[in-house]
Amino acid sequence: MYKMLIADDEPIEIEGIKKIIEKNFEDITIVKEAKNGREVIEYFQGNSPDIAFLDIKMPGIDGISALKEIRKMNRKTKIVILSAYDDFQYAKESISLDAYEYLLKPVRRKKIIEVLENIIKNIKSERKEANKKVRLQEEIINIKSIVEEKLISFILEGGSEKIKEICTNENIFKINIDTAHLIGIRTDEKNREFVESKIKKSFKSKVNSIMSTYNDNIYILIEEEEADEYWIKKSLEKIERELKNNINEELIYWYEKNNYFEDIKKNVIKIIGKLNTINTNMDFNDENRLRICKEVLNFDLNYYNEFEKMLGYIMKKTNSRDLNFYEEINEIVSFLQYGAFMEKNEIYFKNSKEMIKNKRSKSSIKNAILVDLDTYVKLCRSNDLIENVKDYIVKNYDSKIKLEDLSYKFAISTFYLSKLFKQETGQNFIEFLTHIRIEKAKKMLKEGIQVKDVYRRVGYSDPNYFSRMFKKITGISPSKYVSKN
């Protein structure tokens, strides 16, 4: 069925069209008759007929004005303008407002039938295409659900190229699994539902990722450009705290960074092996302690978890008055200080050392060590961070990049990123981005690309603003630059 509105200030005109429709089109229902443009607009505010015939000259708001307002609300209705005026300007304006047809009165019965038949054919085609898209979307959702649930199984069973094709498909996941982060989390009946809900909240709702299960464990595959290891570490730490507070269990996980697509199966197998062999009650001997300290200083995500467990182990096995605790924990901090000094030629973990010296409580010392470690990681990471930010800007200069987007992507506050960027580069974010864009623009102009095309290609939406920035950097306008080169 097709719903139709007719608007004309002459009742005889409306009756004439109605008779033609009643006699020739059983599937068209007249849902509204209007005498002026105001009635038409009011009707469209709450309804969406399939077809509308509007007289161009009606009292008050005319057909063209009504059409302008309708198009602000509705782009789908097929609107035919009826006019007693053979005026090219009216016809031109109607077409510019996406009118389906412009008919001159008196309209022959045959012409009305022809126009309505064409409209119905057009609507049928659109509905068919819309249904096709809905079915395709349903199929995609189904495929996505199956692949997400069974991704690890599919990787282990082979057919990797097909998996890659599905994962990178922009209509399904649009994830580059060649260089993705891969995390495995050990779960059981007691904690699975809780862990799964926290993963959805911490990862799925924030970054482009896939969550899959295999042998009751949960696996997350995260797009490399969506997050870095530090952000992942902080997200896992938050889940671990909540798991400890709510269920009194530790979070057991293992992390691998996929650098090549060919490595993904090997990394999955490695994670499965690690999840099966990690012992929550392991005895942290001197060799293990030294290895764990070394790895946390190298920012290995997997060892942060073990490092906290090691501190907890030392606290648990010694009582509050046991001097062995201070000796053992001092040895751990000494490992950290030595490793950090050898790497950065600076003394770190001073606060932790001071608290151990003053024999503060176990929990306060543990917290001090974790804060000092986090400070060290942040300081060491800042150089790499800014290099990564600069690299991202260079690769995406033609997009709409905002400092807020970068701060979210690299898991750092906007204020701190701005301060750090200026400190490391000598320029603020906008200055750096502008210089990159103008250098790219100069290259394009030398290659013969026109100014009207260049400004969009380098990320600007306003040609005047582009010209001002170009002149500010180069001293001359883009057109003068072209003539000089």
Q: What is the CATH number of the domain that holds 182?
A: 3.30.70.600
Do residues 102 and 179 share a domain? no
Among residues 215, 247, 277, the one where a domain terminates is: 277
Query: What is the C-alpha to C-alpha distance for residues 60 and 228, in angstroms, rounded to an integer?
Result: 61
Place of tokens 């002459």: 10
Helix axes 350-357, 362-395, angle to 10 degrees: 180
pLDDT tens-digit readout, 408-461:
777 666 766 787 788 888 888 889 999 999 999 999 999 989 888 999 899 988
Do residues 11 and 147 share a domain? no
Query: What is the C-alpha to C-alpha distance for residues 145 and 140, in angstroms, rounded to an integer?
Result: 8
Q: Which pLDDT score, from 0 to 100, does residue 38 have?
A: 94
Residue 214, classed as helix, strand or coil, is strand
Q: What is the CATH number of the domain that holds 65?
A: 3.40.50.2300
Do residues 101 and 141 share a domain? no
Do residues 262 and 200 share a domain? yes
- 246 compared with 162, residue with greater pLDDT: 246
Q: Is residue 284 part of a domain?
A: no
CB atoms under 10 Å from CB of 419, counted, come to 12
Do residues 84 and 49 share a domain? yes
Domain that holds residue 17: 2-107
Q: Is residue 225 part of a domain?
A: yes
Taking all residues of the chain, what is their mean pLDDT, rounded to a whole number?
85
- 141 compared with 322, residue with greater pLDDT: 141
pLDDT at 340 over 70: yes
Is the distance from CB of 478 to CB of 472 less than 8 angstroms?
Answer: no
* CA-closest candidate to residue 18, choices 122, 124, 112, 83: 112
Give the whole-number percent of the chain exceeding pLDDT 70. 93
Query: What is the C-alpha to C-alpha distance for residues 288 and 279, in angstroms, rounded to an integer?
Result: 13
Among residues 107, 125, 155, the one where a domain terminates is: 107
Supply 92's token pair: 């031109």
Residue 376, classed as helix, strand or coil, is helix
Domains in the chain: how many in total?
Answer: 3
Give the lowest-confidence range in 93-97, 101-105, 463-467: 93-97
pLDDT tens-digit readout, 152-198:
888 887 655 666 776 776 667 777 777 788 999 998 888 889 999 99
Residue 413, classed as helix, strand or coil, is coil
* CA-closest candidate to residue 469, choices 443, 444, 432, 417: 432
pLDDT tens-digit readout, 196-226:
999 999 888 888 888 888 888 999 988 877 7
Q: What is the CATH number of the domain that holds 431?
A: 1.10.10.60
Supply 22's token pair: 């009643």
Give the containing element (helix H, strand E) for 217. Answer: strand 217-222
Do residues 194 and 155 share a domain? yes
Query: What is the C-alpha to C-alpha distance for residues 436 and 62, in angstroms, rounded to an integer?
Result: 52
Q: Is residue 261 part of a domain?
A: yes
Do residues 225 and 168 share a domain? yes
pLDDT tens-digit readout, 6-47:
999 999 999 999 999 999 999 999 999 999 999 999 999 999
Q: Is 158 exposed, middle or buried (0-12, 13-18, 19+ CB in 10 A)?
A: exposed
Supply 377's token pair: 């990681």
Q: Is residue 235 part of a domain?
A: yes
Give the lowest-confidence range in 50-54, 114-118, 451-455: 451-455
pTM over 0.75: no
Query: What is the C-alpha to C-alpha distance for residues 204 and 255, in angstroms, rounded to an integer?
Result: 17
**One-character DSSP codes across 220-256:** EEE-GGG--HHHHHHHHHHHHHHHHHHH--PPEEEEE
pLDDT tens-digit readout, 323-332:
688 888 998 9
Q: Is residue 40 part of a domain?
A: yes
Query: What is the C-alpha to C-alpha distance for residues 336 and 279, in angstroms, rounded to an integer?
Result: 24
Q: Which pLDDT score, from 0 to 100, does residue 139 have?
A: 73
